[in-house]
Amino acid sequence: MAAAFSVAERALITGAAGFVGSRLARKLADEGWEVHGVVRRPPGDSAVRELCTFASAHYHDGAIESLMRIVAQSRPTVVFHLAACFVADHRPADVAPLINDNILFGTQLLEAMRAAGVERIVNAGSAWQHYKNAEYSPVGLYAATKKAFADILQYYVEAHAVQAITLELSDTYGPGDARRKLIPIMLDAEKSAREMSMVSGDLPLNFVHVDDAVSAFVIAARRLLSSETNSHDVFAVRSNEPVAVKELFAIWQKARGAPLDARWGERPYREREVLDQWTQGTVLPGWQPRVSLSEGLRGL
């Protein structure tokens, strides 16, 4: 059954043309929300055209004045901040995009919210903020920038009455994922019957299906709208099915009937590879993953 939201609820979604953001936009529209998306892709982009069939797309040119107009015009009751720059192993050229997209843009958004009197935000954090299962230890610069923004968000919570929930997500996956991540790469390898060069088969993984990730954002919005959160709550969003990468290949073969060949141990671990399962943090109340890994892999 769909959540009982008022038809007056309005969402502003950053990253609305992205993998998770586009599905969140569609879910909220289906549940009666007035949906607005912040986009930086050109109007002719296929994802933007799709978004415009059920939501309003607002182009952001990078300036804070542009973002202030967008927030003032859309008047959201909840902001969903999903836009981010992800780089696993950064190079010098990646520093500026990581800072601009993950810190500067988010801070501009918060300032635009303050100016427009918008108080509620659901922010996408990352499990990569917990290297070696620590309370906080960034796996890489990407994770460090996500935490830096969360710290800035805390200032707006304390100084400007913003109500916030940060969801620290494990890796998401699902149909239509064009990102260069493991499961889409495995799907490409299946289609081309290509052998994969892999790290050790013991590498731990945790995947959340995109439908379950979207559900977490909707539940977090419900908490904000019902005043169950009046500060800055941080919750984990992770699967109950942690697997080693070699187990993932076995589940893949059973679920899809398509074996994948791998040269195990051929690739070295990345610097600061995540070798420990993440168990820190409280799982979002009222949420649990519903799509099993086997079911999710079958649906790719």
Q: What is the pLDDT of residue 293?
A: 97
pLDDT above 90 as % of the chain: 91
Strand partners, 166: 123, 234
Residues 199 and 245: beta-carbon distance below 8 Å: yes
pLDDT of residue 3: 46
Question: Quick one: tokens of 69?
Answer: 């107009």
Report the top-level CATH class of 182-205+241-278+291-298. Answer: alpha beta
Nearest residue to 289 (alpha-carbon basis) of 241, 245, 222? 241
pLDDT level of residue 230 (50, 70, 90 thresholds): confident
Per-residue pLDDT at 2 = 45
Residue 271 in tokens:
């610097």
Q: What is the mean pLDDT of residues 59-87?
A: 97
| Per-residue pLDDT at 43 | 82
DSSP 15-29: TTTSHHHHHHHHHHH
Q: CA-to-CA distance for 24 and 80, rounded, in angstroms?
A: 9
Summarize the confidence of residues 53-81 as an average pLDDT: 97
Mean pLDDT on 271-280: 90
> What does the block give as tokens for 149?
């923004």
pLDDT at 65 over 70: yes
Model confidence at 7, pLDDT cuts 50, 70, 90, reads: low
H helix runs in the chain, sequence order: 19-30, 46-51, 64-74, 95-99, 105-116, 141-160, 182-192, 210-225, 245-256, 293-298
Q: Which pLDDT score, from 0 to 100, does residue 218 have?
A: 98
**Least confident residue range of 2-16, 130-144, 203-217:** 2-16
Whole-angstrom distance, CA of residue 47 vs CA of residue 39: 10
Give yes or no for residue 111 having a pLDDT over 50: yes
Q: Where in the chain are all domains bearing CATH 3.90.25.10?
A: 182-205+241-278+291-298
* Per-residue pLDDT tens digits for 184-203: 999 999 999 999 999 999 99
Report the C-alpha gap between 261 and 79 in whole angstroms: 43
Please give the Cα distance from 23 to 242 (Å, whole number): 24
Where does CATH 3.40.50.720 sit in the chain?
10-174+207-237
- pLDDT 10s digits, 116-146: 999 999 999 999 999 999 999 999 999 999 9
Q: What does each C-alpha distance from 278 to 139, 181, 199, 205, 242 come to in angstroms?
A: 12, 19, 19, 9, 9
- The confidence score (pLDDT) of residue 253 equals 96
* Mean pLDDT taken over the chain: 95
How far is 198 from 261, CA to CA, in rounded Å? 10
User: DSSP for 148-167?
Assistant: HHHHHHHHHHHHH--EEEEE
pLDDT the model gives residue 228: 85
In this predicted model, what pLDDT tens digit does every residue of 140-168 receive, in sequence order?
999 999 999 999 999 999 999 999 999 99
> Which CATH number is 10-174+207-237's, of 3.40.50.720, 3.90.180.10, 3.40.190.10, 3.30.830.10?
3.40.50.720
Contact between 198 and 266 under an 8 Å Cβ cutoff? The reply is: yes
CA atoms within 13 A on the CB side of 89: 6
- Percent of the chain predicted with pLDDT > 70: 98
